[in-house]
Amino acid sequence: MTDYTYKPGTFTEHSSEWCPASLADRVLRIEMWRDEAVSLAQQMSAGEYWSLYNVRMKVSSNGFIEGSFSEAAKARKLSIAEVDSNQPLRALLQ
C-alpha cells in the first residue's frame, strides 16, 4: 500500500512485479491475517483507495518496516465522491 510519500526504512531493494521500482521506498507492505482480513485483502483491487485503521508497525526479519492488519472492521473503502470532505484522500489525489 502506498500514499506515495517517502518512507525511510521501507524496502529499498526491489524485486516485485506488482510494484514499480520507482515506488519501492514509498510502499508499505502490510500483512493481512485472520479470516476477515484475508477475505478483505482478496476483495481489494488495484486503483481503489482504502483507509485502514490500527495497522501495527514492525521491523521484518529482513530489517525493513512493514505493517500487520487483522481487524477487517477497521477498514473502509473510500470513494472519489468523498474528496471534498476527506482531507487525506484529497491530499493523496493531489
Whether 84 and 93 have beta carbons less than 8 Å apart is answered as: no
**Tens of pLDDT along 48-89?**
999 999 999 888 887 878 889 999 999 999 999 999 999 988
Distance CA 49, CA 76 (A): 9
In a domain? residue 80: yes
Structural domain span for residue 44: 21-93
What's the number of CA atoms in the CB half-sphere (13 Å) around residue 30?
23
pLDDT score at 88: 86
* 30 located within any domain: yes
Structural domain count, the chain: 1
Residue 10 domain-assigned (yes or no): no
Residue 56 lies in a domain: yes
Tell me if 61 is assigned to some domain.
yes
* Residue 65 within a domain: yes
Inside any domain, residue 9: no
Instruction: Indicate whether 16 belongs to any domain.
Output: no
pTM, 2 dp:
0.75
